[in-house]
């Protein structure tokens, strides 16, 4: 009998999660009904938003149930099929993550064209994180050629794409990241004009002021906290801030000091707008067209951090909060 392994969340983390908050369960694969396929996952995604789903707090995504299968992005290969449009060998993108395989109908499965790049790119640059970067810059941030753009959390899945889209559209780009290695990657591969290692930069307000002496037109915010305060303090009058994520706050157990310089939003007449990518699925075709063009022109580089082994999913997930990844963090489940 074919067996699948899947992760369950067994308790709600307080603060930083631990690997003991998860356990692996086994379940037999159901026999296929007409129109169904059995998929073996190849790559699983770990994403910061999953931290929110581990909590019961009301948010835009439903909380994970305890002691139940968890969902998330996954790329897999059809290994048995009773669906004519999904023959054996078809690569599919699904939300059946945190498990090594599943049985499903065609609904919720998107076929992947191998010509687009390695399959796991559909979890990163060509997938949800890439679309997030695209939507945040274009629809939310309304970026224009010649502007100065700050991308915080710039060396991750979303940030690395945001930097390159902004460069391709003729902007001057400043990126922040947590190590010198990441800052070097941002300069040499993503082509940013100024990369700041926020851990060694000292006062971030001063570091942003030095990188953008005339001010920042658009901030693409992934981090929050001191990064966001420093971005507001260096925004141009009538500047914009697209709030994509606040990863520095996701494990916080108290509200902290909050934003101390909301006044800058008033005095500089800033537009600050949050967004969630799932509201912008209609932009997917335009995004993919721009990505294919950029990749073809050599203007979109990406790297990824691959953790090998299904059982290491929690470790990979936790790595997002310690900065263990350069580019998209994925877990390789199978060959
Ligand atoms: N709005 C949406 O629809 C949407 C969709 C996808 C993602 N997001 C958000 O976008 C952001 C990036 O997501 P991603 O998937 O691309 O993750 P990622 O950037 O690939 O990985 C997370 C990175 O965050 C940085 N980080 C972690 N804790 C930090 C802290 N306390 N201070 C500063 N940096 C910290 C780490 O890099 P360093 O080494 O640089 O610290 C880490 O590598 C997250 O905030 C996420 O929630 C939003």
Contact criterion met (CB below 8 Å) for 305 and 292: no
Give the pLDDT confidence score for residue 118 in this predicted structure.
Answer: 95
Taking the centre of ligand 1 as the mean of its atom positions, its distance from the CA of residue 210, in whole angstroms, is 24
Taking the centre of ligand 1 as the mean of its atom positions, its distance from the CA of residue 17, in whole angstroms, is 16
pLDDT of 308 strictly over 70: yes
Position in ligand 1 atom list of the atom nearest CA 326? 43
Sign of the CA dihedral 277, 278, 283, 286?
A: positive
- Phi, psi dihedrals of residue 152, rounded to the nearest 5°: -90, 155
- Phi, psi dihedrals of residue 109, rounded to the nearest 5°: -105, 130
Q: Whose CA is nearest to atom 25 of ligand 1?
A: 323
Collapsed DSSP state (helix, strand, coil) of residue 281:
helix
Query: What is the β-pairing status of strands 36-45 and 101-105?
Result: antiparallel
Give the pLDDT confidence score for residue 109 in this predicted structure.
Answer: 98
Position in ligand 1 atom list of the atom nearest CA 246? 45
Task: Tell me how long the chain is.
Answer: 335
Give the pLDDT confidence score for residue 258 in this predicted structure.
Answer: 85
Give the pLDDT confidence score for residue 276 in this predicted structure.
Answer: 98
Using only C-alpha atoms, the chain has a radius of gyration, in whole angstroms, of 20
Sign of the CA dihedral 156, 161, 162, 163?
A: positive
In the structure encoding, which two tokens stand for residue 245, read together?
Answer: 């994520």
Taking the centre of ligand 1 as the mean of its atom positions, its distance from the CA of residue 44, in whole angstroms, is 17
Position in ligand 1 atom list of the atom nearest CA 47? 15
User: Could you tell me the residue ranges of all domains in the chain?
Assistant: 3-123+302-332, 128-279
Give the pLDDT confidence score for residue 335 in this predicted structure.
Answer: 67
Q: What is the largest CA-CA distance in the chain?
A: 66
Question: Which are the contacts of 332, defined by CB distance < 8 A and separation ≥ 6?
Answer: 42, 43, 120, 306, 307, 308, 309
Give the pLDDT confidence score for residue 289 in this predicted structure.
Answer: 95
Identify the band that residue 257 occupies on the pLDDT scale cut at 50, 70 and 90.
Answer: confident
Residue-wise pLDDT for 184-230, tens only, equals 999 999 999 999 999 999 999 999 999 999 999 999 999 999 999 99
Residue-wise pLDDT for 124-153, tens only, equals 999 999 999 999 999 999 999 999 999 999
Query: Ligand 1: which of 222, 228, 273 to mutate, judged by most atoms within 8 Å of the beta carbon?
Result: 222
Q: How far apart are CA 221 and CA 227, in angstroms?
A: 8
Q: How far apart are CA 236 and CA 224, in angstroms?
A: 18
In the structure encoding, which two tokens stand for residue 216, read together?
Answer: 């920042």
Give the pLDDT confidence score for residue 255 in this predicted structure.
Answer: 78
Average pLDDT over residues 320-329: 98
Q: Is the CB of 333 under 6 A from ligand 1?
A: no
In the structure encoding, which two tokens stand for residue 203, read together?
Answer: 């006062």
pLDDT of 334 strictly over 80: no
Taking the centre of ligand 1 as the mean of its atom positions, its distance from the CA of residue 223, in whole angstroms, is 6
In the structure encoding, which two tokens stand for residue 279, read together?
Answer: 């509201």
Q: How far apart are CA 109 and CA 95, in angstroms?
A: 8
Give the pLDDT confidence score for residue 84 in this predicted structure.
Answer: 97
First to last CA, the chain: 21
- State the residue for tokens 């979303």: 158
Q: Is the CB of 179 under 6 A from ligand 1?
A: yes
Average pLDDT over residues 310-322: 98
Instruction: Tell me how far the alpha carbon of residue 15 is from its chain's centroid.
Output: 20
Q: Which CATH superfamily is domain 128-279 in?
A: NAD(P)-binding Rossmann-like Domain (3.40.50.720)
Which of 96, 55, 59, 61 lies closest to 76, judged by CA?
96
Average pLDDT over residues 172-189: 98
Q: How far apart are CA 133 and CA 162, in angstroms?
A: 5
In the structure encoding, which two tokens stand for residue 147, read together?
Answer: 């502007």
Residue-wise pLDDT for 92-122, tens only, equals 999 999 999 999 999 999 999 999 999 999 9
C-alpha distance from residue 178 to each of 153, 190, 227 (Å): 8, 16, 12
Q: How far apart are CA 53 and CA 316, in angstroms?
A: 16
* Architecture of the domain spanning 3-123+302-332: Alpha-Beta Complex (3.90)
Average pLDDT over residues 34-41: 98
CB atoms within 10 A of CB 191: 15
Q: Is the CB of 245 under 6 A from ligand 1?
A: yes
């Amino acid at each position: 009998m074919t067996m699948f392994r899947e992760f369950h969340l067994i308790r709600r983390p307080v603060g930083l999660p631990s690997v003991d908050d998860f356990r692996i369960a086994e379940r037999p694969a159901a026999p296929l009904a007409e129109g169904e396929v059995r998929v073996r996952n190849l790559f699983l995604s770990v994403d910061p938003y999953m931290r929110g789903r581990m909590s019961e707090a009301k948010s835009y995504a439903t909380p994970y149930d305890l002691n139940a299968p968890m969902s998330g992005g996954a790329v897999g290969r059809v290994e048995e099929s009773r669906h004519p449009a999904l023959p054996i060998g078809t690569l599919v993108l699904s939300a059946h993550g945190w498990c090594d395989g599943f049985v499903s109908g065609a609904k919720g499965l998107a076929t992947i064209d191998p010509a687009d790049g390695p399959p796991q790119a559909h979890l990163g640059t060509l997938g949800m994180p890439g679309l997030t970067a695209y939507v945040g810059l274009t629809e939310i941030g309304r970026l224009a050629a010649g502007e100065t753009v700050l991308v915080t959390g710039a060396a991750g899945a979303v940030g690395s794409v945001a930097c390159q889209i902004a460069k391709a559209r003729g902007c001057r780009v400043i990126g922040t990241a947590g190590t010198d290695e990441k800052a070097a990657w941002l300069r040499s591969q993503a082509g940013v004009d100024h990369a700041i290692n926020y851990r060694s930069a000292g006062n971030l307000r001063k570091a942003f002021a030095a990188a953008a002496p005339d001010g920042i037109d658009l901030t693409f915010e992934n981090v929050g906290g001191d990064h966001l305060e420093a971005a507001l303090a260096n925004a141009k009058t009538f500047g914009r801030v697209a709030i994509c994520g606040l990863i520095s706050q996701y494990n916080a157990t108290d509200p902290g000091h909050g934003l101390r310089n909301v006044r800058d939003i008033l005095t500089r007449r800033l537009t600050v707008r949050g967004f969630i990518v799932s509201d912008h699925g209609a932009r997917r075709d335009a995004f993919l067209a721009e990505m294919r063009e950029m990749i073809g022109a050599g203007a979109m580089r990406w790297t990824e951090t691959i953790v090998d082994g299904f059982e290491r999913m929690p470790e990979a997930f936790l790595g997002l909060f310690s900065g263990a990844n350069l580019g998209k963090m994925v877990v390789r489940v199978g060959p």
